Structure 1
């Protein structure tokens, strides 16, 4: 479903991602783990079209999207939930969600059906559909940005640090939501620093350090055989 090969990403003269490769099969939840500065978010931004690759290729369900714009990437079937958790604060929850369906704006019946599915996944949002998004709690805003991404009807969802800055009880709920999304058959690439909870939901994981992938395997293999202190914490 998603195939990354020899990916290079530069920030000026600094090489942030150094020839990495990985893939996701349909319906898999794969995680990129690593400390701050490892290159995880840069990798996601490049896949999403927000940063241009300096080399390598990105293929989504057989289509090369390496040079695609962010809008073209969304139209190809890939949606991103950024770590910044940006909502349109003065718009209602419902209006935020419909902005996520912009590429399908002419398909009103399809959008109604998809909105119902999203409300079933996130009943809290259905309860607050007329409320200004800026008045939601941090956890509710995270639900909203995930739900808004789902309104584009993606085949692959990129999640960038969804637990960042949230209270432990809310983090538990976010990971429960991720598990629910996985059960729907959605293909998910999850960037996280929360190792234990990520490995509890992931099928496979890759560990990045200084722009390179330094370990990979199933969640159980990473948990049992990888020196996380060396690779993840830099010890």
Structure 2
């Protein structure tokens, strides 16, 4: 479903991502792990079109999307949940969600059905549908940006550090929702620093260090390497 080959990302003279290969099969949830500064978010933002690749290729199914605009990439079927939980604070929850369906704006009935489905999936958002998004808690805003991305009806969802800055109980709730999304067959690439949290839902994982993939395997294989966290994740 998603194939990344020999990807390189540069910021001036700095090579933030160096020769990265990632594959995500249909229906898989794959984690991209690493300490802060490992190159995880640069990789994800390059896939999403927010950063241009210096080299390499990105394919969504058979479509080459590397270097394309973010809008074209969304239209191709890939949506991103950024790490900064960037909601439109003065708009209501429902209005934020409708903005996520912009590329399908002519499909009024389809958007209505998708909105109803997502409010069923995220009942906390349904309770706050007419509340300004800026008044939500951090956990509720994270739910909102995930649901807003899903309003684009993606075939692949990218999640960048969904646990960042949230209390452990809220992180657990967010990951319960991610696990529920997995049961729907949605294909996901998840960036996380927390190895144990990501592996609780992932099928496979890649571990990055200094811009390169250092280790890859199933969630069980990575869990079996007891020193992996200390070696590559700083824990």
Indicate the RMSD between aligned Cα atoms, in angstroms.
Answer: 0.9
Count residues in correspondence: 234
Q: How does 1:145-156 map to 2 (within 5 A)?
A: 145-156=145-156
CA deviations over 1:44-63 (Å, ceiling 9, x no partner): 00000000000000000110
Residues 2-151 of structure 1 aligned to structure 2 (within 5 Å): 2-151=2-151
**Distance in 1 (alpha carbons) for counterparts of 2:117 and 2:68:** 29
Conserved? CA contact 1:79–1:156, under 8 Å: yes
Distance 1:88 1:142 in 2: 12
Per-residue deviation, 1:200: 1.2
Using the size of structure 2 for normalisation, the TM-score is: 0.98
Give the secondary structure class of the aligned counterpart of 2:200.
helix
Cα distance in 2 for partners of 1:200, 1:45 equals: 24
Scaled by the length of structure 1, the TM-score of the pair is 0.98
* Contact 1:78–1:154 (CA under 8 A) maintained in structure 2: yes
User: Which secondary structure does the structure 2 equivalent of 1:163 belong to?
Assistant: coil
Q: Partners of 1:64 and 1:226 in 2: how far apart? A: 38
1:120: how far off? 1.2
- Residue 192 of structure 1 pairs with residue 192 of structure 2: yes
How many angstroms apart in 1 are the aligned matches of 2:49 and 2:101?
18
Contact 1:215 1:226 in 2 (8 A): no
Q: Per-residue deviation at 1:226?
A: 6.0
Runs of 4+ residues deviating >6 angstroms: none
Which stretch of structure 1 is more off in the superposition, 223-232 or 147-156?
223-232
1:116 Cα offset (Å):
1.1
Conserved? CA contact 1:159–1:191, under 8 Å: yes
Alignment of 1:231 onto 2:219: no
* Structure 2, unaligned runs of 5 or more: none
Q: Distance in 2 between matches of 1:107 and 1:205?
A: 36
Q: 1:225: how far off?
A: 2.8
The superposition leaves residues 18-47 of structure 1 with CA deviations (integer Å, 9 ceiling, x where unpaired) of 001010000000000000000000000000
Counterpart-to-counterpart distance in 2, 1:4 and 1:15: 17
Output the CA distance in 2 between the equivalents of 1:148 and 1:104.
13
* Secondary structure, counterpart of 1:201 in structure 2: coil
Aligned partners of 1:9 and 1:54 also within 8 Å: yes
Equivalent-residue separation in structure 2 for 1:48 and 1:172 (angstroms):
26
